[in-house]
């Protein structure tokens, strides 16, 4: 009775077939994951758009406040007076 020693042809064939199955399963799993990952990109864009809208709303509220409005008006008047 012979046993498969490290480096023997039988051992190499067994390891190759295991790697082949493992590689095939990994490839199949990657193909199954592709549609799910493509949808995540769309969800990330949606969350980013929502965050940008929220930031714009906060910025609009701040700019419409009295102190900021008067500061911006003073800045514009100062810039126009320097230009002329």
DSSP assignment of 54-73 equals HHHHHHHHHHTSHHHHHHHH
The per-residue pLDDT for range 27-61, each reduced to its tens digit, is 877 777 776 656 667 888 899 999 999 999 999 99
| Residues 84, 78: Cα–Cα separation, whole Å | 10
Q: The dihedral of CA 36, 41, 42, 43: what is its sign?
A: positive
The per-residue pLDDT for range 8-32, each reduced to its tens digit, is 555 555 555 566 777 778 887 777 7
**pTM, rounded to two decimals:** 0.42
Q: What is the DSSP letter of 5?
A: -
Q: The dihedral of CA 29, 34, 40, 41: what is its sign?
A: positive
């Amino acid at each position: 009775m012979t046993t498969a020693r490290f480096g023997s042809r039988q051992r190499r064939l067994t390891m190759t077939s295991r790697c082949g199955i493992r590689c095939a399963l990994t490839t199949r799993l990657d193909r199954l994951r592709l549609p799910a990952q493509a949808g995540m990109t769309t969800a990330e864009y949606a969350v980013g758009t929502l965050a940008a809208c929220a930031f714009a709303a906060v910025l609009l509220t701040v700019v419409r406040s009295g102190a900021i409005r008067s500061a911006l008006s003073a800045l514009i008047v100062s810039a126009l007076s320097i230009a002329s």
